[in-house]
Amino acid sequence: MAHRRWIAPWADSEDKPAIYHCLARVVDQRFAFGTDDKEQFRIYMRMMENFSGCRVLAYCLMCNHFHILLEVPPKRPQALTDEQLLKRLGGLYSKAFVAEVAKELAAAREVVKQGLAPDGEAYVLRIHERFTYRMENLSEFMKTLLQRFTRWYNHAHKRRGNLWEETFKSVIVEDGVASRTMAAYIDLNPVRAGMVGDPAGYRWSSYGEAMGASGTSGSKAKAGLVRAILADQGVPSPADARRWPGKVSKHYRMLLLEEGEEQLDTIINARGEHETRVVKKGMKRAKVALELAQLEARQDVALRQILRWRIRYFSDGVAIGSRAFVERLFNESRDRFGAKRKNGSRKLRGAASQAAGILYAARDLKKDIG
């Protein structure tokens, strides 16, 4: 029997966001997504981001599955204004649809103004509620994204039926070490698959978009990664994409790339002459030493060793974070576990064992750990 989805116990808080790693695979795990399909998925993902108020911190679109690190914001302390609602609707719906809702709202406001609505403002808010129940909500974000993309994909490829193997998986992720490690794990998917040598070269990922795209697209990717990396240092705004250059991007790249420096080799060029060229470009030794010291102080270095491996805890561990974080989740959601279970945190094993003592999971995996 499938377990109900574990939503962070503070989901209704007005001051604490929740971060989830979401994953879904194509039915039969077949390689279904080409360039156009990945681009369309990313378009729908950004549309849902604009509509829902949720933020994509990191993502990677592969040929038969995807990963999204999603931040669901705190519960709004007050209702959206009509203008705010229409702006959100514009992120997902056509101009014509939004115009019709605007007319409906204006008419409802007039009814309230004339005193003809027996329940006053609630008469207008019912129009809002047709849409707002899907905002700031993990399940509604994923449901709408997957349904919209499935309809588009089935039409484009002249097929029918469900596109996804099963309902999407989600893991609650603690901010700080866990969120930046999870972001790096997601961005390194195409490297582990042997598709690219440098994650910056994969265009359908958060890091590839941050490094290669300009304008709104690049800014959103950068702002998302800044949030993933600095999630334990307060809630930045989307404008914090400006913080990406400098230390933030360097720290993240240290999680993504091997240590090293420029390596030279002598080759024979087309004219038959010996020529010295850079054959491998990494981070220069002085820079590596400085950044390594900074990362070691924050206990991130051991995590770099596990990022080359497929770590099942990151998709099936239910919750990932510090021991205190997982224990707190366990105690606040005690009914999800059997009476014999005494505590919530489980040490990572297998390829993830190098992070033992830094990260913990809520699920004790036995097989195919990675």
Tell me the pLDDT tens digit for each residue of 204-260.
Answer: 999 999 887 666 778 889 889 988 888 776 655 555 566 666 667 777 877 776 433
Give, rounded to a whole angstrom, the gap between the first and last alpha carbons of the chain: 25
Helix spans in the chain (H): 35-52, 82-90, 95-113, 122-132, 138-156, 177-187, 189-192, 206-212, 215-229, 249-256, 285-297, 301-304, 313-316, 323-332
Which pLDDT score, from 0 to 100, does residue 163 have? Answer: 93
Which pLDDT score, from 0 to 100, does residue 231 have? Answer: 74
Which pLDDT score, from 0 to 100, does residue 286 have? Answer: 54
Which pLDDT score, from 0 to 100, does residue 149 have? Answer: 96
Cα–Cα distance measured from residue 116 to residue 104, given in angstroms and rounded to the nearest whole number: 15
21: three-class secondary structure by DSSP: strand
Would you say how long the chain is, in residues? 370
CA geometry: angle 93, 145, 210, nearest 5 deg: 95
Cα–Cα distance measured from residue 358 to residue 303, given in angstroms and rounded to the nearest whole number: 8
Which pLDDT score, from 0 to 100, does residue 26 have? Answer: 93
Which pLDDT score, from 0 to 100, does residue 306 have? Answer: 52
One DSSP character per residue, 177-235 reads HHHHHHHHHHHTHHHHTTS-SSGGG-TTBHHHHHHH--HHHHHHHHHHHHHHHTTTS--
Cα–Cα distance measured from residue 79 to residue 102, given in angstroms and rounded to the nearest whole number: 16
Which pLDDT score, from 0 to 100, does residue 92 have? Answer: 94
Residue with tokens 């709408």: 144
285: three-class secondary structure by DSSP: helix
Q: Alpha carbon of 138 to those of 2, 55, 343: distances in Å?
A: 18, 10, 26
Q: Which structure tokens are listed for 120? A: 């006053």
What are the backbone dihedrals phi and psi of residue 311, each rounded to the nearest 5 degrees, phi first?
Answer: -105, 110
Which pLDDT score, from 0 to 100, does residue 251 have? Answer: 73
- 102-124 burial, b if ≥16 CB within 10 A, otherwise e? eeebeebbeeeeeeebeeeeeeb
Q: Which residues of the chain have pLDDT under 70?
A: 1-3, 213-215, 233-247, 257-313, 317, 350-356, 365-370
The residues near 239 (Cβ < 8 Å, ≥ 6 apart) are 223
Cα–Cα distance measured from residue 318 to residue 5, given in angstroms and rounded to the nearest whole number: 9
Cα–Cα distance measured from residue 186 to residue 22, given in angstroms and rounded to the nearest whole number: 10
Please name the helix (run of DSSP H) or strand (run of DSSP E) that holds residue 60, with its range, or none: strand 55-61
Cα–Cα distance measured from residue 158 to residue 80, given in angstroms and rounded to the nearest whole number: 40
The residues near 186 (Cβ < 8 Å, ≥ 6 apart) are 21, 58, 59, 60, 67, 68, 69, 205, 206
The residues near 200 (Cβ < 8 Å, ≥ 6 apart) are 207, 208, 211, 212
Q: Is the dihedral of CA 225, 229, 234, 240 positive or negative?
A: negative
Cα–Cα distance measured from residue 49 to residue 69, given in angstroms and rounded to the nearest whole number: 12
- Is there a contact between 228 and 58 (Cβ–Cβ < 8 Å)? yes
Q: Which structure tokens are listed for 149? A: 């993309």
